[in-house]
Copies of this chain bind each other. A is one copy, B any other.
Amino acid sequence: MIVGAGFIGSVHAAAVRGVGATVRGVVGSTPSRSAALAEEWNVPARYPDLAAVLADDAVDVVHICTPNALHADQAVAAMRAGKHVICEKPIATSIADAERLAAVSAETGRTLAVPYVYRYHPLVREIRARRMSGDFGAWQLLHGSYLQDWMLDTGTTNWRVDAARGGPSRAFADIGSHWCDLVEWVAGVRFHEVTARLGVTIPARPAGSGDTFSPNSGTSSEPNGPNGPESGTNGAAPDGLRPVSTEDVAAVLLRTADGVLGSLTVSQVSAGRKNRLWFELDGADGSAVFDQENPESVWLGDAEGARLLVRDPGRGSAEQRRLATLPPGHTQGYGDCFRAFVDDAYSAMAGHQVEGLPTAADGVRSAHLVDAVLRADDSLAWTVVERAPARM
């Protein structure tokens, strides 16, 4: 059951089908939009709105793909109705809401899975397994970037531009949060303090089709990434430009309690960069580089140069082998990644133990990081992320 019908909604739908489950329906921002989507996706037009979904006992899982500000209330309602939830990130636009979600998940025993899907690239798991085996030694430096260009066109807008709907952080919360989740999980660290500077490089954008995405009016969503067929590009906004309050770029420094430094550059306005999540983990005994746009190999630096390791179902760590479903050279992509996440989420919902599924706790962690980055940009000071950070 999918709620929200932007680009990411269709990715969820494909993944659900890919794991052999059934998409029972889709809910858009209005009953008529729901009906239209049902036809477009070739699913029954069963549900005019979320309430109808929650009343249907045949629904096991609700996928929430709406604008960020709607996530928390919808996910709470779904869990209280006995449904498991896959909720798009950020799961909430405040720490309080994120913690509420975690509490409801614990209380109801319903799983809340969060699609930090880049954890499901097989070679990401390989790097993590090698880190856990001590291959890299003590971390010297953790750095990287997440760069896109879909917001570079000054005529492009999106519900994310509006802090009331997307939350007070845009570039960092939307994509920087992916990087932090991934690097903390792979490297086995928690960043204790941050400093950051956010920048709005395009100070005004078209007003956008406001009603469509109003929090009051429904549940439709928009592309996670760029250029989806339902992109909010709006070259000729009838109602003119509105000031932008959420950042296009973010420059962030990070530091663990043990003194390991990190650096992250985030941008949605870097021409030619499409979805470049890239990290380098430099350890005393070797380095590892992963590039989400070329996920079929990793670069493992050493004194002689580097090793290029390819994804391979017949080699490497158990988790890499589990997720590598095609022979090397037969590329796995973003869809395979997403499908593996949904597969594991469903397994967890069925009571099985799975490795590395991002859940409510990870969503809470992310909310703290977003909040700390905003505070750091505001105070221009190094800022502690969480007084007592969760232990891994």
Contact = CB atoms under 8 A, between A and B. Distances in A.
Nearest to A338: B330
A318 interface: no
B335 A332 contact: yes
| Max chain B C-beta neighbours (<10 A), residue from A149, A226, A305 | A305
B304 A312 contact: yes
Interface in A204-263: 223, 225-229, 231, 248-249, 251, 253, 255, 259-263
Contacts of A249: 140-141, 261
A328 B226 contact: yes
A381 B275 CA distance: 32
B271 A302 contact: yes
A277 B339 CA distance: 26
Given A226-B328, A334-B330, A274 B310 contact: yes
Interface in A15-66: 17-18, 20, 42
B327 A275 contact: yes
Contacts of A141: 199, 201, 249, 251, 265, 267, 269-270
Nearest to A262: B251
A329 B201 CA distance: 22
Can you tell how many copies of this chain the complex includes? 4
B308 A7 contact: no
Contacts of A335: 326, 332-333, 335-336
A20 B42 contact: yes
A296 B306 CA distance: 13
A304 B309 contact: yes
Contacts of A196: 253
Nearest to A145: B143
A271 B20 CA distance: 36
A309 B305 contact: yes
A305 B309 CA distance: 5
A282 B276 contact: no
A347 interface: no
Interface string A112-136: 0000000000000000000000000
Given A195-B195, A227-B313, A140 B307 contact: no
Nearest to A228: B327
Contacts of A147: 282
Contacts of A148: 329
Contacts of A330: 225, 275, 333-334
A364 B199 CA distance: 29
B42 A328 contact: no
A280 to B, nearest CB: 7
Contacts of A297: 305
Given A20-B17, A143-B145, A273-B287, A261 B306 contact: no
Given A199-B259, A305-B272, A305-B307, A326 B334 contact: yes
Nearest to A43: B20
Nearest to A274: B329
Contacts of A262: 251
Contact of A270 (B195, B260, B287, B336): B287
20 contacts: A140-B199, A141-B199, A141-B270, A143-B251, A195-B380, A197-B253, A197-B261, A251-B262, A275-B329, A275-B330, A293-B329, A304-B307, A304-B310, A305-B307, A305-B310, A305-B328, A306-B307, A308-B308, A326-B333, A326-B335
